[in-house]
């Protein structure tokens, strides 16, 4: 398993980036954690729908997204808000989406991020199609897709990898093996020793990386992205990490897993080792941390305010979102509704 920065903050290889980028990515992880905890809190207050926390997976998401170009495609899941945000998805739209507003699913035009997949596994094939089509159109854009260890049991995963391998498309398959798929441990999910080794069957490189190591995640993703962009084909990355929280806000992990296991992974916190690394190089102190956290909290707060200040959608809006040119029966349904509303009778 590739590792560059140990849990105690020791560098055991060459850093893949300079200190400035390291500081930027550390800040991003702090923002991500602040966003995640805020969403959990908002959900408890009934201000968000069910939420899938990613605490513990910040390095996997921020480190991998940092290896992309800003216009590369990203196709992720319900648990990947940090990666989506890092790829330019406005935070207020991420929040809006979770309040139940479909407008949250529509980022600005320059953001090449599809809506997160709710169907486990259904989206990996989209990344294959995106990458393939970009190549057909002479573009050097690549696609990255995020998924969990559980998703590798779906037929879709195998079809996506096979297709990508055969066509040699510029696609990076980024698996966050966070130990659990709801109540199912990774060991019961697949008899393969690693998820990375599944790549062999599809004729592509497979790399296992410490998913809580920002440095190593960035390095292996960078290599996969370069390979993809150079037309050398897809890569499967298995980032070994851990879901510190529940599967979603409606799950109780105490039913199926040990508190001891969670504690053990807390000690491998992805933020902590970067903090030590920076501190040893004179780039971190408690006042700075407080300032970074406060800024992060403000950024998240602002996003929540923006999301909550969107005017609520009207009943007629349910007809608007389905087709480029709505078929006649829908046009009539919507038009009549608006007529009645305007007349104050709706």
Partner 1 sequence: MPRMRMNQAIAQAIADEMRSDPTVVVFGEDVAEAGGPFKTTDGLLIEFGPNRVRDTPISEMGFLGAAVGAAATGLRPVVEIMFIEFLGVALDQLVTQGSKFRYLSAGKVTVPMTIRASVGAGLGFAAQHSQTLESWMLASPGLKVASASGAENAYGLLRSAIQDEDPVVFLEPRRLYAVRGDVKVGSNAAIPLGQARIVRSGEDVTIVAFGSTVRVAVDAAEQAEFSAEIIDLQTLVPWDRQAVLESVARTKRLVIVEENPYSFGWGTEIATKVASELFGDLEAPVLRVTTPDVPVPFGKALEERFLPSTSYLLAQTRYLLETGTLPRPWWEGGPT
Interaction of residue 336 with partner 1, rule CB under 8 A: yes
Angle between helices 19-44 and 58-65 (to 10 degrees): 130
**219-278 residues near partner 1, rule: CB under 8 A:** 255-256
Residues in Cβ contact with 17 at an 8 Å cutoff, skipping those fewer than 6 apart: 25, 215, 218
Helices (H), 45-90: 58-65, 81-86
**163-182 residues near ligand TPP, rule: CB under 6 A:** 178, 180-182
Q: Which residues pair with 180 in a beta bridge?
A: 185
Count other C-beta atoms under 10 Å from residue 80's C-beta. 30
Number of residues that bind partner 1 (CB under 8 A): 46
Q: Which residue, 65 or 151, has its beta carbon nearer to partner 1?
A: 151
Interaction of residue 238 with ligand TPP, rule CB under 6 A: no
256 is catalytic: yes
**91-150 residues near ligand TPP, rule: CB under 6 A:** 118-121, 147-150
> Which residue among 79, 123, 186, 243 is the active-site one?
243
Interaction of residue 153 with partner 1, rule CB under 8 A: yes
Q: How far is the CB of 154 from ligand TPP (least distance, A)?
A: 6
Binding-site member from 193, 322, 324, 328 for partner 1 (CB under 8 A)? 322
CA dist., res. 264 & res. 286, Å (int): 25
Q: Which residue, 96 or 151, has its beta carbon nearer to ligand TPP?
A: 151
Count other C-beta atoms under 10 Å from residue 54's C-beta. 27
Binding-site member from 8, 139, 183, 192 for partner 1 (CB under 8 A)? 183
CA dist., res. 16 & res. 180, Å (int): 29
Q: How far is the CB of 10 from partner 1 (least distance, A)?
A: 37
Element containing residue 336 per DSSP (H, E): helix 328-342
Query: Per-residue b/e over 213-243, b at no fewer than 16 CB within 10 Å?
Result: bbbbbbbbbbbbbebbeeeebbbbbbbbbbb
Which residue matches tokens 């050097």? 140
243 is catalytic: yes
Active site residues: 243, 247, 256
Q: Which residues bind ligand TPP (CB under 6 A)?
A: 79, 118-121, 147-151, 178, 180-182, 243, 247
Residues near partner 1 (CB under 8 A): 49-50, 99-102, 118-122, 150-151, 153-156, 181-184, 188-190, 255-256, 312-313, 315-319, 321-322, 329-330, 332-334, 336-337, 339-340, 345-346
């Amino acid at each position: 398993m590739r590792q560059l920065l140990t849990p105690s903050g020791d560098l055991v290889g060459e850093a893949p980036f300079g200190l400035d980028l390291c500081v930027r990515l550390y800040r991003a992880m702090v923002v991500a954690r602040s966003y995640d905890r805020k969403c959990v809190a908002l959900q408890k207050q009934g201000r968000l729908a069910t939420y899938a926390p990613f605490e513990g997976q910040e390095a996997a998401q921020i480190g991998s997204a940092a290896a992309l170009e800003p216009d590369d495609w990203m196709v992720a899941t319900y648990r990947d808000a940090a990666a989506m945000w890092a790829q330019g998805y406005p935070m207020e739209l991420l929040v809006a989406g979770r309040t139940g507003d479909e407008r949250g699913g529509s980022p600005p035009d320059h953001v090449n991020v599809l809506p997160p997949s709710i169907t486990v596994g259904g989206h990996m094939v989209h990344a294959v199609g995106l990458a393939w089509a970009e190549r057909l159109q002479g573009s050097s854009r690549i696609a990255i897709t995020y998924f969990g260890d559980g998703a590798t049991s779906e037929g879709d995963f195998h079809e996506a990898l096979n297709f990508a391998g055969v066509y040699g498309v510029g696609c990076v398959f980024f698996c966050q093996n966070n130990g659990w798929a709801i109540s199912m441990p990774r060991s019961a999910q697949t008899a393969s020793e690693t998820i990375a080794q599944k790549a062999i069957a599809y004729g592509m490189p497979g790399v296992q990386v410490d998913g809580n190591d920002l440095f190593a995640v960035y390095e292996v993703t960078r290599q996969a992205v370069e390979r993809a962009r150079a037309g050398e084909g897809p890569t499967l990355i298995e980032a070994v990490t851990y879901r510190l929280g529940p599967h979603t806000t409606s799950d109780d992990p105490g039913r199926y897993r040990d508190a001891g296991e969670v504690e053990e992974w807390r000690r491998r916190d992805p933020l902590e080792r970067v903090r030590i690394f920076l501190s040893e190089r004179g780039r971190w102190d408690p006042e700075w941390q407080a300032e970074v956290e406060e800024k992060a909290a403000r950024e998240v707060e602002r996003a929540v305010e923006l999301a909550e200040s969107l005017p609520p959608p009207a009943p007629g809006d349910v007809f608007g979102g389905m087709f480029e040119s709505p078929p006649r029966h829908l046009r009539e349904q919507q038009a009549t509704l608006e007529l009645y509303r305007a007349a104050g009778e709706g």
